[in-house]
Structures are given as structure tokens and as C-alpha cells.
Structure 1
Amino acid sequence: MHMKTSAPGSSLGDSWDPDVAAMVDLLKGAEPLRNLGVDQARKLLESIERPPGPDMRTVRSTSIDGPSAPVPVRVYHPHRVPTENAPALIWFHGGGMIMGTLDSFDRLARELAEATQSVLVNVDYRLAPEHTYPAANDDAYAVACRVYDKPDEWGIDPNRIGVGGDSAGGGLAAATALRARNSGGPPLAQQILIYPGVERRQDRESMRAFGQSPFLTAEDVDWMKNMYLGEDPTTDDEYGVPALAATLTGLPPAIVACGHNDPLRDGVEEYGRRLQDAGVPAAILRYPGVGHGFVMQTANFTRARRAIADIGALAAARFSVLA
């Protein structure tokens, strides 16, 4: 399944949705993240005010045993989701592997739980530069294994567990799916990859056209990747850089979504096509007029609300056929 919702066009100036263009104007002259540094970038993300997300039946903050220490998680249970044998979505938030918390991604977690009609487990994995590769990957996989091993503790169906993430978290979700396949781990029902970071920066058309986007620059991609993976790409493997995987055969069905104006777009969509070529059912969704990080802006962007609805409907349908 290959779905695209975009129109041709590569100019930054004439291809933003009107509500996105207003934010682009506000962000003109803003310092790139690499100039702010890690501490200020983190403070900036946490300082953004977001309206509360959908009300939940329960929201539970706890922790799950990790490879070296407990991993904090926040578990969202929507009202319409049963309290037993429910589908579950393990979510890894974005933030370039260096920033992001359960608080700054609370609204998105609530929206995704509601849209996918699943119990959502939001994972507070360790961040770089304090914790470099493979710390976050190990946390991600450990949570997936623990949730699968103790489904009754969460009221979930072990045969309907998916993984997903946005941006850096999408890369973690893709890596977790690869690791589960390779290691005989949890039989994941699906993977939801929203503009996932599946590769280091490559010389692609979207990177050239949108690499100076106010939402993500090419140089910031390098800066953040280097802090987590290190500066030597010859040491990379398929878990740190999922695009390096020799084969994608045998992975769970996927939803792969990206904005037309995202510098990561072409690499993301290539990963989606590789999934399709490997026989993996994969919906590739491209949204015009928006850039990187747009699903975090449902309060401001019409296209973000549409994307959450689309992704949620596809994910809920996948969970439903497995019930």
C-alpha cells in the first residue's frame, strides 16, 4: 500500500500550508539547535506550551526494568479501550536522541493513544550525550520485551503489541522491530514510523531542498547523530542506523509518514519502499505543506490533525484484524 497526498513543488517559499507558513515567519532568524547547545535546546523544547491532549481513563507513571537501570514510562489508557486484552503501542518520542521527555510529548502520546485506540506506553529512554549508543536502543528493546513478557500487568493482548516513534523515536522503533526479528523477540504486530531517523545525513533531493528548514537543518542532523552514534560512520550498525539493514524481510507491517518539506523525506520514503520490496505491508504517507516535527503541532496545523487521524485509523485497523 503506497499512499501519497502531496503535490509537486520543492520551493520552501511557496509550498508551506498557510498555518505552517505563519510559524515559519515567526521562526525566521532563530538560532539552529547546534548553536544553542544541548542544555538550551532541551530547555527550549520543554518550555513550549501545548494545550492538554484527550482525557484518558487512566494515566500511570511507572518504570520498567532496563538493561542497567529502571526505564521510566507513562502508560495511557483511553476510555474506549477495554481494560483487558487491549492492543498496545510502545512509543519512543522524538528529540534527536538528545532531548525530549514524557512531559513534552504528553499531548502527542494522548492523541496517539486515542487515535489508535490502544494502550500507549511512552518510553523515557536515556539521552545523549550523557548516554551514547546503544543506551537508548537497549532501553527501547528492553521495554518491548518486558511489556510482552508481562501483558496481564498492563491489561494488554501480547499478540497485539506495536512499536512506534516520531523522528529519533521512529528510528528507535525501526531498530526495535529489526532487533525483535533478529533475536526472536516479541512478535510485533506493527511499526509506526513518523518521519523516522533511519540514516545519517545523505545527499538527497529533499535534504538539498529543505536542509535549511526552520524546523530541522542538515547541520543539526549531523550534530545530533554524532552525539549519539559518534562521529565515525564506519562503526554504525543496523540498530543505530536502520537503513543499513541488509534485508527488511520478515518485519512487521508498517506505517511510514513524512512531510513533503522535511529534509529527511527521501530517506524515510526509501526505507518505506524497501519494506514494500521485502514483502512487508507498508503504507507510505506523504503530507504536503508541512515539515519535520509537524505532528507535534496539532493545536496549530490542520495537516497535523489529519495525519494523526490517518495514522490512527490505519493502526487501529491493523490491531482490529488481529483481535
Structure 2
Amino acid sequence: MDKLKSALDPAIKRIVDPLIASPVPGPHMGGVEDARRSFRVSRRALAPALPEVASVHDVPAADDRPAMRVYRPWGIAGTDVLPAFLFFHGGGWVTGDLDTHDKACRSIANAARCAVIAVDYALAPERPFPAAPDDAHAAYKYVSAAFAELMIDPARLAIGGDSAGANIAAVLALKLRNVGAPPPRRQILIYPLTDFSAKTASKAEFEHGPTLNRAALDWFARQYLPDSAMATDWRASPLLASDHRHLPAALIITCGHDPLRDEGIAYADRLESAGVRVRRRHFPGQIHGFLLMGGVVPETTILIGEVASELQHAFAG
């Protein structure tokens, strides 16, 4: 095996082998609602038991911002002011919601001892690009202004997400830099898509994979980007931004058996070349999406620990 890819984690192999033997239809084989339903069902089957937290509070949407869900970690008094992690869920800009990532957000809150604020951003195709990054910016502005109500420290904010959510977080970091807004302490990018137009070795290697593959990626792109020319817009493909200087320090997590592996690595390279501090964590035996597989994949706990450790370090600085 090469240094980027080892044998599949045995826990992952037990998930993937039946899919190879009897493939299930990908999102491109049905409609949007079928894809959303399938994502919810599959992630529920792989999730851990519900982690208990101190509180969960839903913030309704308003004209100028999306809905959000605020988690406070177990054992924290209701009056304590906490650092906060603004989290954007994955799901290809089309699927996923506050509920699909509920257990992951709870686990991160407990492990990092911070508030986690999950954002219910706009989904395509009903609200295509650039609605999602616009919602992300609106959510960040709201959280920064409503710190007293949310009982969070506005000087200790971090942003991040998984997959499509990591893409949105990377774009948000660039946008905040561009408008001169106070930067987040950290950007946590878990197996991000960073370039819709990229033709990488990992995309070719896993073109026909049993989980995330080229057909699924192309379908998500068609839903999210009304015009294929938008693929080179930095708000869709943050790797293609003209300037990556003066961005928040980053934790970038990649997986060996993931078509997005190489563009995650490329984004880490690009940030480092621009003088941004990057910590890389690579899981050579893992597949895309394993953040939501904590019920069957022990390494998910390690992933959450890496995120929590990075957040604690960021908030302590």
C-alpha cells in the first residue's frame, strides 16, 4: 500500500463488502427526496447511541438567517459562557440536516467542552449556489452578534464541517477575510471538497466506488451548481481562490479511500504555501463519511477526539 492508503479498516470493510456484492442505488439513480431519505436511513443505521448533553436549543430561522441548533456539553452549568464551534453538516449540498448530524454534534460538544452551533443552511436544488455559503455568512454574523443570548464567547469562535459542510466552512473563512470581519480561531475541514473542477488521482481511483463515487459527485454538482461554469467560482471551489493568505489556522482531515482525498491534501498544501498554519490528520484506512459511523466504526471516536483537541487548543490560545 502507498503512504496515502492502507487496507480498509475492518469495520469499514464489513460495511462496504455487502455494497460491492449487492450495490444499492446512488443518489443519481433517483430523485432528490429519495436521496435525502436514503441518507437519513443509512446514517441512522450507523450512528452511535444518543450522547447526553446539558441542553439542546433550536434557534428558528429569520428573514436574515437560517435556523440553527445549539448544543451545550454535559456537565456545564446553564449560565457558563462557552467558546463555540459553528458546524456545517455534510450531504452534498442536497441531503443532510440538523438531525442527520445530531449525534456527531453532541459528541463534539462533549469532547471539546464547547458549544456546538449546527447550521440548517439552504439545500439545493430548491436553493442552489450561492445560497449555502450566503447562509453560512449570515449564521456567523448572527452568532457573533447574539453572543449574550447564546451564552458564548464571541472572541472564541471556530468554524468547520464535514464534506460539503467543510467546503462551506472553507468558503466562509475566505469570505470573512475578504470583508475584514473578525476571523474565527480555527477552521476544521473534515474530508472537504475544495475544487469542483479537479481531476485528481483519487477521483479516478474511486470513480466506481460503492459509496461516494464519480456518478454521485456529478449528480450533487448538477443539483448545487445551476451553471457548470460556477465550478470555478471560489465560493464553490475554495482551492481556486486567488489568495489564501491571512486565513485562520486549519485542521484538515482526509481519508485514504475517498475520492476527495487529493483535493483535501491540495488545500492543505495551498494554505501552507500561503503562510497559514495547518495541522493534517490522515486516516489511510477510512472512507468518506465516517464521522457519522460511530456506532460501528471505532475510529470515529479518534476523529472526534482530533477535532475536540484542535478546538480546545484554539480556544486556549
Local SS of the residue matching 2:60: strand
Cα 1:201–1:299 change in 2 (3 A) is farther
Deviations, residues 221-253 of structure 1 (Å, cap 9, x unaligned) = 121112112242257421121111111111111
1:266 is displaced (CA, Å) by: 0.4
Aligned partner of 1:198 in structure 2 is 194
310-319 vs 291-300, greater mean Cα deviation? 310-319
Aligned partner of 2:133 in structure 1 is 137
Runs of 4+ that moved beyond 4 A: none
Aligned partner of 1:317 in structure 2 is 313
Q: Matches of residues 100-249 of structure 1 in structure 2 within 5 Å?
A: 100-233=96-229, 236-249=232-245
- Contact residue 84 and residue 157 of structure 1 kept, 8 A: no
Aligned partner of 2:41 in structure 1 is 47
- Contact residue 196 and residue 232 of structure 2 kept, 8 A: no
1:8 is displaced (CA, Å) by: 3.0
- Contact residue 195 and residue 232 of structure 2 kept, 8 A: no
Give percent identity, aligned residues only: 34
Local SS of the residue matching 1:109: helix
1:293 is displaced (CA, Å) by: 0.4
CA distance in 1, matches of 2:230, 2:57: 41
CA distance in 2, matches of 1:131, 1:249: 30
Match for 2:253: what amino acid?
A
Match for 1:121: what amino acid?
I
- Unmatched tracts of structure 2, length 5 or more: none
Structure 2 length as normaliser, TM-score?
A: 0.93
Local SS of the residue matching 2:189: strand
Match of 1:27 among 7, 12, 19: 19
Aligned partner of 1:62 in structure 2 is 59
- Unmatched tracts of structure 1, length 5 or more: 1-5
Cα 1:51–1:242 change in 2 (3 A) is same
1:315 is displaced (CA, Å) by: 1.7
157-166 vs 32-41, greater mean Cα deviation? 32-41
What is the RMSD computed on CA atoms of the aligned residues? 1.8
Match for 1:26: what amino acid?
P
Local SS of the residue matching 1:288: strand
1:63 is displaced (CA, Å) by: 2.3
Aligned partner of 1:77 in structure 2 is 72
CA distance in 2, matches of 1:201, 1:27: 28
CA distance in 2, matches of 1:47, 1:219: 21
CA distance in 2, matches of 1:134, 1:156: 28
242-251 vs 197-206, greater mean Cα deviation? 197-206
Cα 1:275–1:47 change in 2 (3 A) is same
Structure 1 length as normaliser, TM-score?
A: 0.91
Local SS of the residue matching 2:258: coil
How many residues are treated as equivalent by the alignment? Answer: 311
Cα 1:41–1:234 change in 2 (3 A) is closer
